[in-house]
Amino acid sequence: MAMQIKENFQKLVEFVKNPSKFYKKNADEEKSLLDFMAFILRLSFALDFIIGLISAGAALTGTAVLISAIVTVFLILIARIFAIIGLAIGSWILNLFVKLFSKADNKLAAKRVVTFAYVTMIIGELQIPYITALITLTLTIILYTLGISKQYKLPTGKSFWITIAALFIPTIILILIAIGLILLVYGAGFFPGLLGTIISQTP
């Protein structure tokens, strides 16, 4: 376990130093990719716990700290399950859009791109309103673009548009599905009624 942590940490440092070079030469198989993604998830959970303690300070009670610690340990223990699910879905979506835009098909390349782009989760734990989300999204777009370009050997411009499609189109579809479900459950009068409530409460 200690050796695996050391190897993944060294891999993280190497990736951060030069993502483009790393993506170009990387040939990890699925097991190594899952190990690395699980490592990033565990590191993120641990950082979230530590930063939460620091930001809350004296406001935290002993019980709250204990519960938070138990939840963190539980998440760390099942991190590999999250990695398996996240990698399967993320790489499938990415490879689908690569095929649509370029006809290239390489499921393992997609898994490499998605896996190492997960390092942005560490930045996401900084919890600075709006700024953290913007930085994380920007870096994710950059890493996906680099990864697609190097792993699939595609032009940077095409890789960028594949990235935008792979990241945003599924999100838009999910939002539309959510809106459709709301309309189905609450009826077409939900949004006009909500708008009316907002307007009536506005000074």
Tens of pLDDT, residue by residue over 140-199, are 999 999 999 999 999 999 999 999 999 999 999 999 998 888 777 775 555 555 555 555
H helices present in 57-189, as ranges:
62-77, 79-102, 107-117, 120-124, 131-151, 156-186
Contact 37, 86 (CB under 8 A): yes
Using CA atoms, how far apart are residues 130 and 65, in angstroms rounded to an integer? 26
Model confidence at 77, pLDDT cuts 50, 70, 90, reads very high
Classify 198 as helix, strand or coil: helix
H helix or E strand, kind and range, residue 1: none
Nearest to 110 by CA among 33, 15, 188, 35: 33
H helix or E strand, kind and range, residue 105: none
Using CA atoms, how far apart are residues 203 and 191, in angstroms rounded to an integer? 20
Using CA atoms, how far apart are residues 41 and 89, in angstroms rounded to an integer? 16
Q: How many CB atoms lie within 10 A of CB 29?
A: 10
* pLDDT of amino acid 191: 54
Of residues 121 and 143, more confidence is placed in: 143
Contact 53, 76 (CB under 8 A): no
Model confidence at 60, pLDDT cuts 50, 70, 90, reads low
* pLDDT of amino acid 18: 95
User: Residues 29-37: what's their mean pLDDT?
Assistant: 94
Using CA atoms, how far apart are residues 144 and 162, in angstroms rounded to an integer? 9
Contact 147, 117 (CB under 8 A): yes
* pLDDT of amino acid 192: 58
Model confidence at 19, pLDDT cuts 50, 70, 90, reads very high
Least confident of 59-73, 129-143, 149-163: 59-73
* pLDDT of amino acid 201: 55
Q: Amino acid letter at 7?
A: E
Using CA atoms, how far apart are residues 163 and 145, in angstroms rounded to an integer? 6
Q: Is pLDDT of 111 > 80?
A: yes
| Residue in the structure block whose two tokens are 């099942």 | 78
* pLDDT of amino acid 68: 86
* pLDDT of amino acid 97: 96
Using CA atoms, how far apart are residues 75 and 90, in angstroms rounded to an integer? 20
